[in-house]
């Protein structure tokens, strides 16, 4: 019997018992939670496109969901730190992910890898309690760890042009055979297919961009499209918790912000076009939301744009991030059209635990986003607590090198994150 069926039966039994005791009827938790993570999504950046009616699904989220600004860490931190904090409700000195790269004991600089995380992630906690999970593309998840379900690591995006198979790109390992045929490479993206993001009539000669920029957008789009396909593939496996990460908005803002800030510049459409495509993707996930599903949309930070140093030069990298990202809840138990106040990235994991009927750990630093839930939902199911979910069975190790390390560092240099 599926774990959701068992939980539903237990909940109904509890409802009967509480009803007999004269207590209020408990509202059962959602049968499934879906998290859509969009790096750097920002209400302010998308405002003009929203006003033009070009983001109908974000507009629907604002109208039918509970939404607000999601505050990131100040001082600003890099995305691997933030997405790990989102998934753990722990600060970086606790979870151990300190950025994009780390000096290994060998003296070599290598990317942080999932085995360096010191604490349990949300998917570990849920799996320990019988929930099946599907995780796609989340930062710092290679090598794919054992989960109660399925994990498609962030490294699935690398070396897709040559279809090189790395070890532990997925869990279970044989899941890769299902994911490989649906992976999208830069070579798979024709100019015609790509026209909705990067108009085919744009050329370096007429529009003044470097040829690599178009290829870069194709690469990022191919990655996000791969993760989109993988997420829907795992959804079909009937998981209780599905989480997928998309990088594209952040990458488009890093590369095309200067064009976007120039009124009328034709290349300014690239950021808007990517938001419009991500809105379409959001709409596809919204189609999965029924009376027993909770959808959460979040970003790790917003986007502010390049700041200038004292000598007038542009400061690249993390300085381009904004303080506030987005948070949106939609589906079962959500207070329609409500505003979520005082939300931070550490609040995502406690909110998901609460929604699924689990206690929040007191050694987590976030809170449940109670503003987003209906009063009757909260009244029937008060927030409960547990001391910790850390059992001491997780041992962090040294970051692991891989054949794609150079490719990863090349991409980070292009974004200005490393030298």
Confidence category of residue 16, pLDDT binned at 50, 70, 90: very low
The pair of three-digit structure tokens given for residue 111, joined into one six-digit string:
């990317």
Structure confidence at residue 339 (pLDDT): 98
Token pair, residue 189, equals 């993206």
Q: Which of 24-33, 136-145, 326-335 has the lowest mean pLDDT?
A: 24-33
Task: Report in angstroms the alpha-carbon separations of 333 from 57, 337, 375, 415.
Answer: 19, 13, 9, 40
The proportion of the chain whose per-residue pLDDT surpasses 70, expressed as a percent, equals 89
Residue 399: Cβ-neighbour burial (10 angstroms; 0-12, 13-18, 19+): buried
pLDDT at 12 over 50: no
**HSE-CB of 329 using CA atoms within 13 angstroms:** 28
pLDDT tens digits along 325-378: 999 999 999 999 999 999 999 999 999 999 999 999 999 999 999 999 999 999
Residues 386-405 pLDDT 10s: 999 999 888 888 899 888 88
Over 60: is that where the pLDDT of 82 sits? yes
* pLDDT score recorded for residue 269: 95
**Region 307-320 average pLDDT:** 67
CA-wise closest residue to 121 among 364, 296, 359: 364
294 bridge partner residues? 33, 331
The stretch 308-330 carries a mean pLDDT of 80
- Of 109-123, 147-161, 237-251, 310-324, which range is least confident? 310-324
CA dihedral 348, 349, 354, 360 (to 10 degrees): -130
The whole-number pLDDT of residue 23 equals: 47
Per DSSP, the chain holds a count of helices (H) and strands (E) of 14, 18
pTM of the model: 0.92
Residue 187 corresponds to which tokens in the numbers above? 């070579």
Query: What is the structure's pLDDT at 409?
Result: 84
For residue 96, what are the CA distances in angstroms to 317, 342, 349?
21, 26, 17
Q: Is 53 exposed, middle or buried (0-12, 13-18, 19+ CB in 10 A)?
A: exposed
Average pLDDT rounded to a whole number, residues 73-95: 96
Hey, what CATH topology would domain 32-414 get? Alkaline Phosphatase, subunit A (3.40.720)
Domain regions of the chain by residue span: 1-30, 32-414
């Amino acid at each position: 019997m599926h774990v959701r069926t068992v939980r539903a039966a237990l909940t109904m039994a509890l409802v009967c018992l509480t009803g007999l005791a004269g207590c209020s009827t408990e509202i059962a938790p959602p049968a499934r939670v879906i998290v859509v993570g969009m790096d750097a999504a920002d209400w302010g950046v998308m405002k003009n496109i929203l006003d033009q009616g070009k983001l109908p699904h974000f507009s629907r989220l604002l109208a039918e969901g509970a939404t607000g600004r999601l505050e990131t860490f100040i001082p600003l931190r890099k995305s691997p730190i933030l997405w790990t904090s989102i998934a753990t409700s722990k600060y970086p000195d606790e979870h151990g992910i300190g950025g994009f790269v780390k000096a290994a004991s060998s003296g070599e600089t290598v990317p942080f890898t999932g085995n360096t995380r010191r604490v349990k992630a949300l998917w570990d906690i849920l799996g320990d309690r019988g929930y099946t999970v599907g995780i796609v593309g989340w930062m710092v998840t290679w090598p794919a760890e054992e989960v109660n379900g399925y994990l498609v690591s962030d490294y699935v995006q690398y070396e897709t042009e040559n279809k090189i198979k790395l070890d532990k790109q997925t869990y279970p390992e044989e899941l890769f055979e299902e994911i490989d045929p649906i992976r999208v490479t830069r070579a798979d993206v024709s100019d015609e297919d790509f026209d909705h993001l990067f108009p085919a009539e744009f050329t370096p000669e007429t529009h003044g961009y470097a040829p690599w920029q178009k290829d870069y957008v194709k690469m990022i789009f191919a990655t996000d499209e791969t993760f989109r396909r993988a997420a829907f593939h795992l959804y079909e496996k009937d998981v209780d918790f599905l989480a997928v990460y998309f990088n594209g908005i952040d990458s488009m803002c890093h590369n095309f912000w200067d064009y976007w800030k120039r009124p009328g510049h034709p290349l300014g459409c690239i950021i808007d076009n990517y938001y419009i495509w991500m809105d379409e993707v959001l709409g596809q996930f919204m189609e999965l939301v029924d009376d027993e599903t909770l959808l959460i949309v979040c970003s790790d930070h917003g986007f502010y744009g390049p700041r200038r140093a004292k000598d007038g030069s542009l400061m690249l990298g993390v300085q381009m991030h904004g303080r506030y990202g987005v948070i949106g809840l939609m589906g079962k138990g959500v207070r329609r059209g409500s505003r979520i106040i005082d939300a931070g990235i550490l609040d995502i994991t406690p909110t998901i635990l609460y929604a699924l009927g689990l206690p929040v750990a007191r050694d987590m630093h976030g809170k449940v986003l109670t503003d987003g839930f209906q009063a009757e939902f909260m009244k029937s199911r008060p927030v409960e607590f547990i001391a910790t979910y850390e059992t001491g069975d997780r041992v962090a190790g040294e970051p692991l090198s891989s054949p794609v390390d150079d490719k990863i560092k090349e991409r980070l240099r292009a974004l200005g994150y490393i030298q």
